[in-house]
A and B are shown apart, each in its own frame.
Chain A
Amino acid sequence: MDRDDIKLEQPLAAGDVAYPGHRRHAPPLYGVMAEFENPTDLVAAAHKVYSLGYRRINGYSPYPIEELSEAIGFTKTSLPLIVFIGGLIGGLSGFFMQYWIEVIDYPINVGGKPTNSWPAFIPITFEMTVLFAAFSAVLGMLILNKLPQPYHPVFNLPNFALATRDRFFLAIEANDAKFNHAEVVDLLKSLNAVAVNDVEV
């Protein structure tokens, strides 16, 4: 999971020198990011990092790689359930809206035929099911992904613009229980990465 509760400011300890530039404080670390040239290296590295016990890790790629989400241990999503419930609500509300209108609130006697002419209600019931399910799929995906999210620390990495072109990234986040800066940098450097960089919050 991406965390939103990272502490943004760390107080300057007495006697410390202010961070170079205009900042008073050293920006806290979001994590360490390794850059790879191809998907195979990225997936292999993700497997290795996961097997070493790191859990707050994430991969970034220009296109969906199924092996990558498996490698970082992210295989389950509640989206299908959300879509199912959305569709169910849509279908039920679609049918009972018509039932209530045509049977209870505004019955019209057409040649003595039954007012609950349910087969005639099916097309709209179906359309409402699809409409609600589709909205659930799109909004559910965006909400679970916490999008829209205009700012994210990974965008601070200058080369990250290539994550939407031809470069592959693996991040070990600083709030991982096992996180130790020097160890993590060494580990990522040993994994065929073309570059390893700190990412500031």
Chain B
Amino acid sequence: MSDEAQKPYTEGPMHSTSPVIDPGLTFASVTDKISSIVLKRKTSLAWFFGFAISFALFQLMLLAITNLVFVGIGLWGVNVPIAWGIDILNFVWWIGIGHAGTLISAILLLLRQRWRTSINRFAEAMTLFAVAQAGMYPIFHLGRPWLMYWLFPYPNTMGIWPQFRSPLMWDVFAVSTYATVSAMFWFVGLIPDFATLRDRARSKPFQILYGMLAMGWRGSARHWHRYEMAYLLLAGLATPLVLSVHTIVSFDFAVGIIPGWHATIFPPYFVAGAIYAGFAMVLLLTIPLRRFYGLEGFITMRHMHNMAKVMLATGLIVGYGYTMEAFFGWYSGNKYERFMIWNRMHGPYHLYYWALILCNIITPQFLWSKKIRSNLLALWIISFIVSIGMWLERFVIVVTSLHRDYLPSSWGMYQPTQWDWAMFIGTIGFFFTLLFLFIRFLPMISIFEMRTILPEAEVEE
């Protein structure tokens, strides 16, 4: 990195009230404070309570999956013409949430946004756990999930190969690459912090555990040099990757000829929607977390403001997407396209459409106000509404497009069953189970990167 990047963060006149890190912190206090959450702090009753609820919901997911595998996909409400119900919807929703983590860790790194440092570890963990939920849906939607390995090109006795012209195959490669690269990026970021924990841990099992994970990291200048290079290259690779993943997810729809799917605006509109939903989820999780663990010195109001602004900007892009969808429907002069948009606004699922407009376009407009951006409760509620709105968006795209296409004789309605909901609520439980384990056993803020933004990190010539 250049000299500029090595300088400690100095505030511009616009942000004089909210620094990016508490100015009183030192190398020692940053290290001790973050590592003590993992090593010294007594596990609170609230943690056990939250973990227990999440774990119980996770059991619900296992029950839903077991039942699904035994009985078959008829357990879900999906049927022709709506073969993609809330399971594919949830796949898109979860993977969209994951994208904010990669954006924060990779894109903001390349853009030298140093405020990302205190939230990137947490956001990357969120990415990983969200992708884990997302990956399950297409597999169990296959109907015979035990044959999922047929998706991969391997020489087989049947003498057949996958069809690589299908976006569904692109999806297999995109999502599995994304999961793998996100996991590697996260792990590489953790290595120096594992070394910190290894050296701070007092009990033998933890010394051994973190010691193994740290792989003998000793902070050698030569190692750091290669490490920084690898990290930068990974960020450079993850940036186009994250854009490609949601682009390919949107191809699952856009390559089809269903009115409401077959639109050129889908890739950018999906990517913006993913970032929008992802930042909403990061805010949803960090607001209570920083309060609970007393991390206000690391995750400052500056972060809250910035994330709210990203949410507002991407929300406006998403709003533009909705407007253009309606415009295309009218301007195409195609009666099926016109009917599609009319059906969204006035058909049997019109409530979903108007709720979506309320959640995703109207609600984020409050973020123009600095007063609301500074009010954490308001910010949390807006993030919650946006998360619901993004779920509704995918419902509108998946279900209302499919339920009435060209031939009225093949129209139908879709109702998710209790097992659809069980699976969805279960994945939320699994997500939070992983998240609770993460905040208990791993440093949720990147310790070594926090050291780099301290004033004392500067080398005076």
A127-146 toward B: CB 8 Å interface, digit per residue (1/0)?
11011011101101110110
- Determine whether A164 belongs to the interface, using a CB cutoff of 8 Å to chain B: yes
Shortest Cβ gap from B241 to chain A (Å): 5
Secondary structure at the A interface, as helix, strand, loop or mixed, is helix
Asked if residues A155 and B28 are in contact (CB atoms below 8 Å), the reply is no
Q: How far is the CA of A161 from the CA of B222 in the complex (A)?
A: 18
- Tell me which residues from 326 to 364 in chain B have a Cβ below 8 Å from any Cβ of chain A: none
**Among A63, A66, A87, residue most surrounded by chain B Cβ atoms (within 10 Å):** A63
A-B pairs with beta carbons under 8 Å apart, 13 shown: A1-B222, A59-B220, A65-B221, A98-B164, A101-B164, A126-B244, A134-B180, A144-B226, A150-B211, A161-B199, A163-B218, A164-B31, A166-B27
When distances are taken between beta carbons in the complex, the residues of chain B under 8 Å from A162 are: 199
When distances are taken between beta carbons in the complex, the residues of chain A under 8 Å from B407 are: none
Shortest Cβ gap from A51 to chain B (Å): 15
Asked if residues A130 and B230 are in contact (CB atoms below 8 Å), the reply is no
Shortest Cβ gap from B113 to chain A (Å): 18
When distances are taken between beta carbons in the complex, the residues of chain B under 8 Å from A21 are: none
When distances are taken between beta carbons in the complex, the residues of chain A under 8 Å from B188 are: 138, 141
The answer to whether residues A64 and B224 also contact, given A128-B173, A141-B230, A165-B28 and a CB cut-off of 8 A, is: yes
Asked if residues A69 and B224 are in contact (CB atoms below 8 Å), the reply is yes
What is the number of residues of chain B that contact chain A, defined by CB distance less than 8 Å? 69
- Determine whether B112 belongs to the interface, using a CB cutoff of 8 Å to chain A: no
Asked if residues B184 and A138 are in contact (CB atoms below 8 Å), the reply is yes
Q: Which of B60-68, B81-89, B389-397, B449-457 binds A?
A: B449-457
**Among A2, A46, A130, A149, residue most surrounded by chain B Cβ atoms (within 10 Å):** A130
Shortest Cβ gap from B226 to chain A (Å): 5
Place the interface of chain A in its size category.
Answer: 35 or more
Nearest opposing residue in chain B for A65, CB measure: B459
Q: How far is the CA of A101 from the CA of B169 in the complex (A)?
A: 14
When distances are taken between beta carbons in the complex, the residues of chain B under 8 Å from A152 are: 216, 218
Asked if residues B459 and A148 are in contact (CB atoms below 8 Å), the reply is no
- Determine whether A27 belongs to the interface, using a CB cutoff of 8 Å to chain B: no
A60-80 toward B: CB 8 Å interface, digit per residue (1/0)?
111111111100101101011
The answer to whether residues A69 and B219 also contact, given A63-B448, A166-B28 and a CB cut-off of 8 A, is: no
When distances are taken between beta carbons in the complex, the residues of chain B under 8 Å from A32 are: none
Nearest opposing residue in chain B for A149, CB measure: B216
- Determine whether A195 belongs to the interface, using a CB cutoff of 8 Å to chain B: no
- Determine whether B371 belongs to the interface, using a CB cutoff of 8 Å to chain A: no
When distances are taken between beta carbons in the complex, the residues of chain B under 8 Å from A106 are: 159-161
Asked if residues B225 and A77 are in contact (CB atoms below 8 Å), the reply is yes
- Tell me which residues from 97 to 156 in chain A have a Cβ below 8 Å from any Cβ of chain B: 97-98, 101-102, 105-106, 108, 110, 117, 120-121, 123-124, 126-128, 130-131, 133-135, 137-138, 140-142, 144-145, 147-152, 154-155
When distances are taken between beta carbons in the complex, the residues of chain A under 8 Å from B251 are: 123
- Determine whether B181 belongs to the interface, using a CB cutoff of 8 Å to chain A: yes
Interface residues of A (CB under 8 A from B): 1-2, 38-40, 43, 46, 58-69, 72, 74-75, 77, 79-80, 83, 87, 97-98, 101-102, 105-106, 108, 110, 117, 120-121, 123-124, 126-128, 130-131, 133-135, 137-138, 140-142, 144-145, 147-152, 154-155, 160-166
Asked if residues A138 and B225 are in contact (CB atoms below 8 Å), the reply is no
Shortest Cβ gap from B230 to chain A (Å): 4
When distances are taken between beta carbons in the complex, the residues of chain B under 8 Å from A150 are: 211, 216
The answer to whether residues A62 and B31 also contact, given A124-B173, A133-B237, A164-B195 and a CB cut-off of 8 A, is: yes
Q: How far is the CA of A1 from the CA of B223 in the complex (A)?
A: 10
Q: How far is the CA of A120 from the CA of B198 in the complex (A)?
A: 48
Asked if residues A2 and B222 are in contact (CB atoms below 8 Å), the reply is yes
Shortest Cβ gap from A165 to chain B (Å): 5
- Tell me which residues from 131 to 180 in chain B have a Cβ below 8 Å from any Cβ of chain A: 153, 159-165, 167, 169-170, 173-174, 177, 180
**Among B234, B251, B459, residue most surrounded by chain A Cβ atoms (within 10 Å):** B459
When distances are taken between beta carbons in the complex, the residues of chain A under 8 Å from B229 are: 77, 79-80, 141
The answer to whether residues A127 and B234 also contact, given A63-B451, A165-B196 and a CB cut-off of 8 A, is: no
Shortest Cβ gap from B433 to chain A (Å): 27
Asked if residues B228 and A101 are in contact (CB atoms below 8 Å), the reply is no
When distances are taken between beta carbons in the complex, the residues of chain B under 8 Å from A46 are: 221
- Determine whether B26 belongs to the interface, using a CB cutoff of 8 Å to chain A: yes
Shortest Cβ gap from A170 to chain B (Å): 9
Shortest Cβ gap from A66 to chain B (Å): 6
With contacts A63-B192, A68-B221 known, what are 14 further pairs, Cβ within 8 A? Answer: A39-B459, A40-B459, A64-B448, A65-B6, A65-B221, A101-B162, A133-B233, A140-B230, A144-B226, A145-B223, A145-B226, A145-B227, A147-B217, A165-B199
Q: How far is the CA of A153 from the CA of B458 in the complex (A)?
A: 29
Asked if residues B199 and A164 are in contact (CB atoms below 8 Å), the reply is yes
* Chain A to chain B: the 8 pairs with minimum beta-carbon distance, closest first: A166-B27, A148-B215, A141-B230, A149-B216, A59-B221, A161-B199, A64-B224, A123-B170
Asked if residues B219 and A60 are in contact (CB atoms below 8 Å), the reply is yes
When distances are taken between beta carbons in the complex, the residues of chain A under 8 Å from B217 are: 147, 164
Shortest Cβ gap from A7 to chain B (Å): 21
